[in-house]
Amino acid sequence: MNTGSALQGNELSKENLTQLLSITGDDEMVLFGHAAKIKAESVGNTVYLRGLIEFSNICEKNCYYCGIRRDNSETHRYCLTDDEVLEAIRFAHENGFGSVAIQSGELSSDAFTRKIDFLLKEAMRITNGEIGITLSCGEQSEEVYRRWFESGAQRYLLRIESSSQELYEKIHPKNEVHSFKNRLDALERLKKCGYQVGTGVMIGLPFQTTEHLANDLLFMKQFDIDMCGMGPYIEHAHTPLYEHQSQLLPLQERFNLSLKMVALLRILMPDINIAATTALQTIEKNGRERAIQIGANVLMPNITPKHYRDDYFLYQNKPVSQHSNEDDLKFLEQQLKNIGHEIGYFRQGNSKHYKKTEK
């Protein structure tokens, strides 16, 4: 295949995408160069920040890949206090982050719904409605999604994890709580409520082929997402999927494949927001910056109070910074400057795609 000509066509077919996910060396450079050009033309060199608040690791679900799954008895469970969450939001607001992302294990209880609702209203109050808020709290009813939207959340991130039902069912328990259909329906509900909807997949899962990944890209395009967060799957010893560890691609290959996914998605959907995820940084120290160079335009620096971070281990070797949040931000700013990018301080950085297709 000629990479240059494969990229020139109007529509990237499943076959094209599958082949492009397998290229290496110089061909890979052609792909990355093309994606960088499209990114520069569509969303420019501004990187938007979302201060990541890992709100709670208490989860009702048992996804086979995740370190904070319900049955992992080795995990010490926590939930931030209201003050801790609001303090983190205040920090983000004062330091020009523009937005925060509140992520947690999945709970469907009145108490949880009310707590998130209260935090959203308080966040709006203490920042004069200036802070942008992304939620990533799993599958909820339409009523809950609507309530949170009305209280101030504008964006929601719910990864489809894999758009192949067959693969999805291999990485989740087979029951109603983990049903593929529920996941899809939840994405539809989010769209209906008016959120900027984000999804994504894990890359390098056991049983996953490049064809699966090509279909994932087409799924995102067809669903017409506004944002994406995707990154390498990284095994965790205290999870059921760990038994397939020997079949996994080497970490470096999972990393390269993830970069290619980001580049191809940028080509397919030039004006969406794409996050450079923490899992990339787990494999390569400057992994997030590399993703920024070839397509991503959002970063999610962790602003969870430090003493909780060891307990939010979705996967092994997740990086935990030893520096203050202020120092981390300065460092990030310099790293981005080195690659010709700047932080969009004090800007919410909403998805251009969403604005264009205003629902």
Contact residues toward ligand SAH (CB under 6 A) are 65-66, 103, 105-106, 136, 138, 158-159, 161, 202, 233-234, 236, 279, 314-315
User: Closest by alpha carbon to 242, among 138, 174, 315?
Assistant: 315
Provide the mask over 105-134, with x wherever binding to ligand SF4 is found by CB under 6 A and - wherever it is not.
xx----------------------------
For residue 4, the minimal CB distance to ligand SAH (Å) is 32
Q: Which is nearer to ligand SF4, 48 or 168 (CB)?
A: 168
> How many residues are recorded in the chain?
359
196 alpha carbon, distance to own chain's centre: 13
From the list ligand SF4, ligand SAH, none, which binds 136 (C-beta under 5 to 8 Å, kind-based)?
ligand SAH
Q: How many other C-beta atoms are found inside a 10 Å radius of the C-beta of residue 285?
A: 9
User: Closest by alpha carbon to 170, among 215, 207, 216, 219?
Assistant: 207
Question: For ligand SF4, which stretch binds (CB under 6 A), given 58-66, 88-96, 118-126, 202-210?
Answer: 58-66
Residue with nearest beta carbon to ligand SAH: 315
What residue has token string 């307990």?
Answer: 311
Helix (H, G, I), strand (E, B) or coil at 280: helix
Q: Which is nearer to ligand SAH, 104 or 127 (CB)?
A: 104
CA end-to-end span of the chain: 39
Q: How many other C-beta atoms are found inside a 10 Å radius of the C-beta of residue 26?
A: 9
231: contact with ligand SF4 by CB under 6 A: no
Question: For ligand SF4, which stretch binds (CB under 6 A), given 62-70, 111-119, 217-225, 274-282?
Answer: 62-70
Inter-residue contact 332 to 325 (CB < 8 Å): no
Inter-residue contact 126 to 88 (CB < 8 Å): no
For residue 117, the minimal CB distance to ligand SAH (Å) is 18
For residue 9, the minimal CB distance to ligand SAH (Å) is 31
Q: Which is nearer to ligand SAH, 161 or 289 (CB)?
A: 161
Inter-residue contact 265 to 228 (CB < 8 Å): yes
From the list ligand SAH, ligand SF4, none, which binds 103 (C-beta under 5 to 8 Å, kind-based)?
ligand SAH
Backbone angles phi, psi at 78, to 5 degrees: -145, 165
Provide the mask over 66-95, with x wherever binding to ligand SF4 is found by CB under 6 A and - wherever it is not.
x-xx--------------------------
